[in-house]
A and B are shown apart, each in its own frame.
Chain A
Amino acid sequence: MSASSTTTGDRSAHVAAAEGAVLRADELVAGYLPGVDILNGCDLHVQPGELVAIIGPNGAGKSTLLKAMFGLVKIRKGTVRLGDDDITGMGADKLVRRGVGFVPQTNNVFPSLTIAENLEMGLYQAPKRFSQRFEAVVDLFPTLGKRRNQRAGSLSGGERQMVAMGRALMMEPRVLLLDEPSAGLSPALQDEVFIRTRQINRTGVSVVMVEQNARRCLQICDRGYVLDQGRNAYSGSGRELAQDPKVIQLYLGTLATS
């Protein structure tokens, strides 16, 4: 039996499965311009310790869904809940305090600040924990410790991605939202990003990641959502989605069958 299911009009599976989620979005409608909705009623949930992927074609609303949950896009309808708290439309600085971390796709470091200062900004609301958290993040990304006094603006794309993830991890978030972390990186570096993401997830952080590299992403994630035109098209475990003929045909390409 395939767990993949179209969710249009039928939200019962989502509602049942979302019990106890650390972060959940229900029937989100959101957009940037007045009268133009990018999301047309999206559902998403992530359980504690889960790694969840959002994939789909260009313009499906993947990044918008992530940004809407982080309060960066105006939500017109629907709710976002963190545990039992309604956080719909809450400002980013408050969400960070409550344990949500966000790594944007581009411009995700402070170029004129050093690596150490970038990480310090990630812990802006709890400066006293800096030395402890700095060590924890450097354990994950040893390069950052060695080059702590280098300006982030001089780093390569892959190094910046590590600084960006490290910054978001400084506050010890419960949920980490990653917007296309592998974008623009070489295949080898993309692999490294996926491995790091899995490592971060194993430390107990729930992760929601938006990815263009759908096939690779589905290999490491626990569960995935396929978005199309601002709606949930399919959802299921990574393996199920990667083997679902409809998903392959529409979003992964025929090579995935081999």
Chain B
Amino acid sequence: MLTTLAAPRALLALVALALLLALAPALPGGGARADAATPAPSPGVSAPTDVEGETITVRVRTADREDVPGAEVTATGAGVDPVSGTTDDGGAVELVVPGTGTYEVTLDVDSLTGPAAGLLPRENPVQRSVASGSANPVIFQLSEDGGASASAGGVSAGQVAQLVANGLRYGLIIALAAIGLSLVFGTTGLTNFAHGELITFGAIATYFLNVGAGVPFLLAAPLAVVLGGVAGYANDRLLWRPLRRRGTGLVAMMIVSIGLALLLRYLFLYVFGGSTQTYAEYQGQRGLDLGLFTLRPIDLISMAVAAVVLVAVGLVLVRTRLGKATRAVSDNPALAAASGIDVNRVILVVWVAGAALAALSGVLLGLAQQVQYQMGFQILLLVFAAVTLGGLGTAFGAMVGALFIGVFLEVSTLVIPTELRNVGALLVLILVLLVRPQGILGRASRIG
């Protein structure tokens, strides 16, 4: 195993690094942040473009997640009159501004009363690019010394718990995508750069069914997962199996996958457009205060669905005949064939299941963030990192690696700037691989 995988492993590491260099400027600072994927705002305050009213939802709360009522906030944009409001008992206020564009939202700290008096927001004013049809959230988080607390070592247990919760949510989404990538790599040796597009496909399919065709989200999501499985079937039957039959080399197939990824990404851009969209339901849902941290009900449900699916996949791989055959093909395809296993059929099943899982990952990513034509591409590097970190070709490793990456990404923002967190995660990947070259769960096999 070690000998046969050494070359692809080195190659994958090289490619991942190259991709990192190419991507670093393009990666959004906050992958899991709701506003991460909005179209690039122009620097400074630009003029709002149209005359229809848009809403900015402002929330004011303390670092301990106490809502702050009675706080005065003002949104100002170039060429329009300032819009002011006062937060309600839930600490929220909706400011209706004339149109989309970039606004500056200012909190009047003198208006803070009661326990919030004297506290300072982390950032004030906040610049917000206002998109159409979105809740456009702006949150002022108050603490005794404003933004200094987070970076000066005064980290509260609540902050850490919140970041761990966010990280688990993100990690579970990455894990769903990572399993498919890992299984395809294990059974065929293919490093599939078009896997990110399978993620995007799930989200876009859900969007079109949900927003376009009016199908309820709870029906649109499973339909999109099924469509993802169909896409996986088509992938293998129409492209990868013919290439395997012709004995195409692994590097050549990897290049083909990069081409396919580009093709699909721009097809999505053509069909879906370059803007950022949301599903019709579950937007602007308020978070549930769960003691140490706050999550929206839909996030809790997403995490539960992801966890149940991951456990189910794990059980299938360990317990069932097909799961064992999948591991056998990963270990040694030639011997699997000599044992009477129909290797091509196992690979087809892996493609269907892996693509369906990637689609589910995209559906949930669309809920956690928003839907955008290159959302899958943007987390692909993290998926690769998860797969490599866990141990190439081992599905359980991919799950562990993904959870690790997700939590690490979020928690690391306590000490490093949010913009650098992807880099931090990849540095950890390099460090772990220096110590355990086979990955966290990968096993070094004896040779001979």
Q: How far is the CA of A70 from the CA of B340 in the complex (A)?
A: 12
A93 B1 Cβ-Cβ under 8 A: no
B445 A153 Cβ-Cβ under 8 A: yes
Q: How far is the CA of A216 from the CA of B161 in the complex (A)?
A: 69
| Among candidates A93, A112, A151, residue contacting B340 with C-beta atoms closer than 8 Å | A93
User: With A93-B341, A93-B342, A184-B448 in contact, do A112 and B336 touch (Cβ < 8 Å)?
Assistant: no
Q: Does any Cβ of A come within 8 Å of B338's Cβ?
A: yes
Q: Report B280-321 residues with CB < 8 Å from chain A CB.
A: 321
Provide the residues of chain B in CB contact with A110, threshold 8 Å.
Answer: 327-328, 331-332, 335-336
Query: What is the CB-to-nearest-CB distance from A160 to chain B, in angstroms, rounded to a whole number?
Result: 9
B325 A121 Cβ-Cβ under 8 A: yes
Q: Does any Cβ of A come within 8 Å of B330's Cβ?
A: yes
Provide the residues of chain B in CB contact with A184, threshold 8 Å.
Answer: 448
Q: Report B411-448 residues with CB < 8 Å from chain A CB.
A: 443, 445-446, 448
B339 A91 Cβ-Cβ under 8 A: no
Provide the residues of chain A in CB contact with B339, threshold 8 Å.
Answer: 96, 121-122, 124, 167-168
Query: What is the CB-to-nearest-CB distance from A212 to chain B, in angstroms, rounded to a whole number?
Result: 16
Provide the residues of chain A in CB contact with B337, threshold 8 Å.
Answer: 91-93
Contact bitstring B230-261, A, C-beta under 8 A = 1, else 0: 00000000000000000000000000000000
Q: Does any Cβ of B come within 8 Å of A234's Cβ?
A: no
Q: Does any Cβ of A come within 8 Å of B324's Cβ?
A: yes
Q: Report A148-194 residues with CB < 8 Å from chain B CB.
A: 151, 153-154, 157, 167-168, 171, 184
Q: Does any Cβ of A come within 8 Å of B334's Cβ?
A: yes
B340 A107 Cβ-Cβ under 8 A: no
Contact bitstring B329-364, A, C-beta under 8 A = 1, else 0: 011101111111111000000000000000000000
Provide the residues of chain B in CB contact with A91, threshold 8 Å.
Answer: 337
Q: How far is the CA of A86 from the CA of B57 in the complex (A)?
A: 76
B338 A120 Cβ-Cβ under 8 A: no
Q: How far is the CA of A124 from the CA of B346 in the complex (A)?
A: 12
Q: How far is the CA of A40 from the CA of B324 in the complex (A)?
A: 40
A121 B330 Cβ-Cβ under 8 A: no
Q: How far is the CA of A93 from the CA of B324 in the complex (A)?
A: 16
Residue of B nearest to A91 (CB): B337
Q: How far is the CA of A91 from the CA of B342 in the complex (A)?
A: 9
Provide the residues of chain A in CB contact with B443, threshold 8 Å.
Answer: 112, 151, 153
Q: How far is the CA of A120 from the CA of B325 in the complex (A)?
A: 9
Q: Does any Cβ of B come within 8 Å of A134's Cβ?
A: no
Q: Does any Cβ of B come within 8 Å of A111's Cβ?
A: yes
Q: How far is the CA of A48 from the CA of B339 in the complex (A)?
A: 22
Q: Report B365-410 residues with CB < 8 Å from chain A CB.
A: 394
Query: What is the CB-to-nearest-CB distance from B393 to chain A, in angstroms, rounded to a whole number?
Result: 9
Most buried by B among A70, A108, A109, A121: A121
Residue of A nearest to B1 (CB): A111
Provide the residues of chain A in CB contact with B321, threshold 8 Å.
Answer: 120, 124, 127
Query: What is the CB-to-nearest-CB distance from A113 to chain B, in angstroms, rounded to a whole number?
Result: 6
| Among candidates B324, B338, B394, B445, residue contacting A117 with C-beta atoms closer than 8 Å | B324
Provide the residues of chain B in CB contact with A102, threshold 8 Å.
Answer: 338
Q: How far is the CA of A124 from the CA of B325 in the complex (A)?
A: 8
Q: Does any Cβ of B come within 8 Å of A104's Cβ?
A: yes
Q: Does any Cβ of B come within 8 Å of A143's Cβ?
A: no
Chain A to chain B: the 3 pairs with minimum beta-carbon distance, closest first:
A96-B340, A110-B331, A92-B337
Known: A91-B337, A168-B338, A184-B448. 5 other contacts (CB 8 A): A92-B340, A93-B342, A107-B4, A110-B331, A121-B336
Binding site for A on B (CB under 8 A): 1, 4, 321, 324-325, 327-328, 330-332, 334-343, 394, 443, 445-446, 448
29 residue pairs bridging A and B, Cβ less than 8 Å apart:
A93-B337, A93-B341, A93-B342, A93-B343, A96-B338, A96-B339, A97-B340, A104-B338, A107-B335, A108-B335, A109-B335, A110-B331, A111-B332, A112-B330, A113-B327, A113-B328, A120-B321, A120-B324, A121-B328, A121-B336, A121-B339, A121-B341, A124-B339, A124-B340, A124-B341, A127-B321, A151-B443, A153-B1, A154-B446
